[in-house]
Structure 1
Amino acid sequence: MTQPIFKDMLVLELASVLAGPSVGQFFAELGARVLKVENAATHGDVTRSWKLKAEPADTDTSAYFCAANWGKASLALNLTEPEQLQQLYTLVAQADVVIASYKPGDAERLQVNYEVLQCINPRLIYGHITGYGPDDARAGYDAVVQAESGFMYLNGDPGGEPLKMPVALMDILTAHQLKEGLLVALLQRERTGQGQLVQVSLLQAAVSALANQATNYLVAGQEPQRMGSEHPNIVPYGSVYTCRCGGKLVLAIGDDRQFRKLCAILGAESIAIDPKYKTNYERVQHRQELNQMLHQLIAQQDRGPLLQQLHAQHVPVGAVYTIPEVFAQPQARQLLLQHPGSKPGLRQVAFRLQGQQELDLSPPPTYDNYLS
C-alpha cells in the first residue's frame, strides 16, 4: 500500500454547516490533517444543535454534524480576540489549504480573507464558499438556492407545488465544485510554487448542475416543467411502477433495444413494434398512453422475479428502496465509517485509488475536544 495521498498536508476549516465541512472530511479521508476552527462566540458549528426529535438534548455531535465532520480535530477560537487571531495566523503559516464559508465582507472584517492570509503563507490555497459570489452580501441557504436555481420549481408532480429535495443538494454540489477547484489549485501549485484563491457560490454550482434541463431551454427553447419522476427527453425513464406485491420499481430505458427486451419480458412484444412506441422519439410523443399500458402490465408481476428477469437481460431497472434497505446493500455498507464506541458515519470519498488504503478516521469531535 502507498502512503495516503495527502499525508503531511494541513487543512484549516473555517467553515460550518455542510458544504465546507464535507470538503474538510474529503481531505481527512485522503490522509490530510484537518483542523476544524470553530467559532467560540457561538459554541461552534451551528449544526451541532440541529438535532432530530429523537436525539438527546445534551449531545453536541448531532446526527447532522456527523454527516461531514469525521477525521478532524477541533479548535475553538474567537477571532475578534487579537491573541486568538494570532493563534490562527500561526497555523496559517504551516497550512496548505484553508476552507472558508464567510458572507462577503465577513472574512475581511475578521482579517482572515485570502489577501491577509496569503501574505503570511504565499503557498496557501484558500477555498471560499459564498451564497451568490463575492459581490452579493446575501448569506447562502440551501433551501433558498434550491428555489432560486430552478431545482425546486422542477421538483414535484405536474400541477403540484414546487418541492425542496430531501437533502441539501446545493451544498453537496458546491462542495464537489470546491473540491475540484482546490485539486486544480494544488496541481498548479506543484508547477508554480504559488497558492491561489478558489471561489465558488451555491447559486452558480446549482445552475451549472441543471444539465439537460438547462439545454432543453437554452438549445431547444422548451421551458422545463414539473414532471414528477418522469424524464423530459426519454420514455420510460424515471417512471415508477407498482407491482402486484405492492413493491415499487423504477425503469430507466435508455435505448430502443432495451425497450424491446422490456416488452418481451412483459409478454407485450406488439407494443415494441407499434409505430407509436418503436422509437424513443415516438415514445416521448405518446408518453401518457404508453405509461398507462406499462402500469397495467407491471401491476400483474411480482417485483422480485420481474427484477431478476430484467437484470438478466440488462434492462435498466431498480427497486425503490427505503434508507434501511439502501444500507443493507453491500456496496452501500462499503461506504460506512466505523469507530469503536461510535455510531457509523458515511464516507465523502466514493472513488477508489489503486494501492491506496482506506484510513481509520476518528469520529466527529465533541465541542470540548479542542486542541490546546
Structure 2
Amino acid sequence: MNGGALAGIRVVDLSRVLAGPYCAQLLGDHGAQVTKLEPVTGDLTRSWGPSRGDGVSAYYAGLNRNKEHLTADLASPEGRDLALRLLRDADVLVENFKPGTMERWGLGTEELLERFPRLVYCRISAFDGAGPMAGLPGYDAVIQAYTGIMDLNGEPDGPPLRVPMPVADLTTGLLAFAGVLLALHERARSGRGQCVDLSLEDGAMSLLHPAAANYFMTGEPPRRLGSAHPNIAPCDTFHSPAGELYVAAGSDRQFAVLVGFLGAPELARDPRFGTNADRLAHRHELNAALARLVAGLDPGVDLARALVTEGVPATLIRPLADVLDAPDAAERGMVTGLDGLRLLGVPIRLSRTPGSVRTPPRPLGADQAAVGAAST
C-alpha cells in the first residue's frame, strides 16, 4: 500500500480538543507521521461523552486516529526537552494553546522558527489577535454566538440556535490543513518554514456567505429563515406523506419542472412566481401553494429520486442513523472501522496516493515507551 501523499512529513501535534487535532488528523490520514503530545492529564475530550473504557471517548476517537500518543508536561524541563527532541526532525508543529503560553515555555513561534528554520508552525487561537477579544479562550459554541452564526440559525419566530456540528472548529481545522499544505509547498521553493496563524473567530466568519454578501450589498441585516434560503425560492422544507421533503429549485427551469411534477404547471406562468426575484417577493404565498401540493403526493413515490431525475434538487430529510448505516456509506469509504471502532472515512480521494485510516485512536500515553525512546 502507498504511504499517502504526505509520506515522509513529520508532525508534532501539541493541540487539544478540536480544530488542531482535526488538522493533525487530516495530515495523518494522508500519510504524515503525527505524534500527539498530550498533557499528562490527557486531552480534555477523552472525558467527553461515551467512552469504551480505556480513555478513548467517542469524541476523542473522531479526531485522533493515525497518530502516535505521548504525554508531557510542557511546563517542566523534561516535557520541554521531549518536545524539542521531537521537533528536531519535524516538518510541522500544530498547537492551540492560549496566546502567550508557548512563549512562556520557551516554545514560541520566534524561538522555534529561529531554532528550526524549516519548521511550519501552525498556531490556532480562539479569537483573532487584533480584535477586542484577543488572547481570550473560546469554544465552538461561544464562537458561533460571537460571530453571528447563531443569530442566523433558527426559525423566524424562534430564538437563535447553535448549529449542532462544531462548524467553527471544523472549518478552522480544514483551513489549518490547507494553510500547512500551502506553507509546505512554499518551503519546497524557499527552503524556509513559516507561521500559519488562524483563529476560530476568522474561520467562523469565513462561513458567513451569503449573509455577509447580502448585507454588504443592501445594508439590511439578515433575518432568521429556518430552513429557507435568503436568495432562492423555493428552497425550503415541505411535509409529504413519505416524510419531510427539502426542495431547492434554484432556477426558473427547475421551478417549472417542479410545479409540473406536482400537477400545477400554471404556477410557473403566475406573475407572482415567474422569476426568482418574484418568488422571493412572494415567498409565503408560494410556500403555501407548494405545501398543499406536496401534502397530496402519492406516498409510494420515491420523491427524492423522481425529482432529482427530473433535474430538481430535492431529498427526503434522512435521520443520521440512516445516513451512517446505509450500505453505500461503507462502500464509499465514508464509514469505516478499526480496532472495534466505527469512524468517519477520508473524504479527499487521490487516485495514486489515497489517504487511509491506518491506526486507531489510542489510550493516553500508549506509545510513550516506543516513541519516547526513539526520540532520544
TM-score (norm 1): 0.94
Distance 1:176 1:220 in 2: 31
Residue deviations 1:166-207 (CA, integer Å, cap 9, x gap)? 111100111111111111101110000000001001111111
Residue 36 of structure 1 aligns to which amino acid in structure 2? K
Task: Give the AA of the match of 1:326.
Answer: V
1:278 to 254, 274, 279: 274
Q: For the residues of structure 1 that align with 2:180 and 2:26, how far apart are their CA atoms?
A: 11
- The number of aligned residues is 363
Aligned match of 2:360 in 352, 360, 363?
363
Greater alpha carbon shift after TM alignment, 226-235 vs 302-311:
302-311
Which residue identity lines up with residue 232 of structure 1 in the other structure?
P
Equivalent residues in 2 for 1:77-116, closer than 5 Å: 77-116=72-111
Give, as a single letter, the amino acid of the residue that structure 2 aligns with 1:48: R
Between stretches 14-23 and 305-314, larger displacement belongs to: 305-314
User: Within 5 A, what are the aligned runs for 1:59-208?
Assistant: 59-134=54-129, 136-208=134-206
Q: Is the 8 A contact 1:243 1:303 kept in 2?
A: no
Q: Percent identity?
A: 36
**Is the partner of 2:210 in helix, strand or coil?**
helix
- Once the two structures are superposed, the pairs formed by residues 4-83 of structure 1 within 5 Å of their partners are 4-40=4-40, 43-52=41-50, 55=51, 58-83=53-78
Partner of 1:319: 316
* Residue type of the alignment partner of 1:271: L
Does the Cα contact within 8 Å between 1:249 and 1:303 map onto a contact in 2? no
Aligned pair 1:338/2:329, yes or no? no
CA–CA distance in structure 2, aligned partners of residues 199 and 64 of structure 1: 25
| Alpha-carbon separation, structure 1, partners of 2:115 and 2:300 | 62
Please list the CA deviations of residues 64-113 of structure 1 after superposition, one character each: whole Å capped at 9, or x if unmatched.
Answer: 11111111111100112212211110111110000000111111112222
Conservation of the 8 A alpha-carbon contact between 1:132 and 1:201:
yes
Classify 1:14/1:303 alpha carbon distance in 2 versus 1 (closer, same or farther; 3 Å).
farther
Distance in 2 separating the partners of 1:47 and 1:2: 31
Alpha-carbon distance in 1 for matches of 2:142, 2:12: 28
In 1, distance between residues paired with 2:216 and 2:108?
37
CA RMSD of aligned residues (A): 1.5
Which amino acid is 1:365 matched to?
R
Which whole-Å CA distance do the structure 2 matches of 1:337 and 1:68 have between them? 14
Q: Is the 8 A contact 2:30 2:354 kept in 1?
A: no
Q: Paired residue for 1:307, among 304, 322, 327?
A: 304
Q: Using the TM superposition, give the Cα deviation of residue 289 of structure 1 relative to its aligned residue in structure 2, in angstroms.
A: 0.7
Q: Quote how far apart the aligned CAs of 1:2 are.
A: 5.4
2:372 maps to what in 1? none
Task: State the distance in 2 between where 1:67 and 1:327 align.
Answer: 14
Structure 1 unaligned blocks of 5 or more: none
Alpha-carbon separation, structure 2, partners of 1:357 and 1:106: 36
Q: CA deviation at 1:3?
A: 4.5
Q: Residues of 1 paired with 2:7 and 2:213: CA distance?
A: 41
- Unpaired runs of 5+ residues, structure 2, are 370-376
